Amino acid sequence: MKELIIISGKGGTGKTSLMAAFAYLAENKVLCDADVDAADLHLITAPDILEKHDFQGGNTAIINKDKCTECGLCIDLCKWGAISETFEVNSIECEGCGVCVYFCPEKAIDFPLNTCGEWYISDTRFGPLVHARLGIAEENSGRLVSLVRNEAKKLAEEKGLDLILTDGPPGIGCPVIASIGGADAVLIVTEPSVSGKHDMQRVVQLANHFKVPAFLCVNKFDLNKDITDEIEKFAKEKGLTCLGYIPFDQNFTKAMVQGQTIFEYDSNSSSAQAIRKLWGSLLEKL
């Protein structure tokens, strides 16, 4: 079984639209949306939710006013300034470290487990999808990412499917680290802009840091050919293979607005042709 994660560093380079296009082309796969913070893949895949589960991650301190003597020790101990002078815990600020709970001399602080999101197993016109939704302003996105990846693996084993295609989050922090660790390969989607290139370089470093094989593709490559050349040069220096170049094509956005993959919207469009070729190259590498 192979697991491929699509990431980009910079947001908005076309990860999810490309992922949806791959979902159309790939066979025998499980789809997984690991961008739990702002998941969008379901907007194209229109899933029928088969299973829905709560995601519990981390705890939050709650002061029991009946027991609290207002000694103030918790306020002194809290490194996040989450406890007010009136002994209310701000749940957004609370890190869930439990130090106040442990040291409270009156045992007046409860520490319930948070339900901070949901995860789902769904059926789509492209096959099964494991996805999730982290509650707004919640922490533990990395743990939820690990959970959906594990569930996708279990599902692939159960169904005898040999590929997991995962849509990753932007950035290089906690959820991205959780998305790529131990994967067979990452495909980095970049665009020829100063920021696209800058962010791609950081995410390449991240993939190297965690020793995950990385491939590159350039979306909207013809928007700035000079920077596309620079990206190519960088890839060569780093021994990275650039597997494909997708032209700037307004059909790509129009398909997304219609809730379709580019192949369903216009399979003869320039971007569709480039993506078909890119997918072929990617399969060879996997």
Partner 1 sequence: MIISIASGKGGTGKTTVATNLAMAIGSDVQLLDCDVEEPNSHLFINPVFEKTITVTTPVPEVDEKKCNLCGKCDEICQFKAIIVIADTTVMTFPELCHSCGGCEKVCPENAIKETSRELGIIQKGYRNGIEFVHGKLRVGEAMSPPLIVKVRSFTKPDKFTIIDAPPGTSCPVIASMKDTDFILLVTEPTPFGLHDLKLAVGAVKMLNIPCGLVINRSDVGDNKVKDFAKKEGVPVLLEIPFDRNIAEAYSRGDMIVEKLPGFKETFLTLYNNIKKIVS
Q: Where does this chain bind partner 1 (CB under 8 A)?
A: 9-13, 16, 37-38, 40, 43, 58-59, 77, 79, 92, 95-99, 102-103, 134, 136-139, 141-142, 169-177, 191-196, 198-199, 202, 205-206, 209-210, 223-224, 227, 250, 253, 256-257, 259
Least spacing, CB of residue 87 vs partner 1, in Å: 19
Task: Choose between 155 and 190: whose C-beta lies nearer to partner 1.
Answer: 190
Task: Choose between 64 and 103: whose C-beta lies nearer to partner 1.
Answer: 103
Least spacing, CB of residue 239 vs partner 1, in Å: 18
Task: Choose between 181 and 277: whose C-beta lies nearer to partner 1.
Answer: 181
- Provide the phi-psi class of 37: left if phi over 0, else alpha when psi is between -120 and 50, else beta: alpha
Least spacing, CB of residue 128 vs partner 1, in Å: 21
Least spacing, CB of residue 27 vs partner 1, in Å: 26
Least spacing, CB of residue 278 vs partner 1, in Å: 20
Residues 6 or more apart whose Cβ sits within 8 Å of residue 217: 18, 187, 188, 189, 190, 242, 243, 244, 245, 246, 278
Task: Choose between 17 and 152: whose C-beta lies nearer to partner 1.
Answer: 17
Half-sphere exposure of 263 (CA within 13 A, CB side): 17
Give the pair of three-digit tokens for residue 122. 């769904």
Pairing of strands 2-7, 127-134: unpaired
Task: Choose between 56 and 59: whose C-beta lies nearer to partner 1.
Answer: 59
What CA–CA distance (Å, rounded) separates 79 from 100? 10
CA 24-30-36 angle, to 5 degrees, is 95
- From the number of C-beta atoms within 10 Å of its C-beta (0-12, 13-18, 19+), residue 248 rates as middle
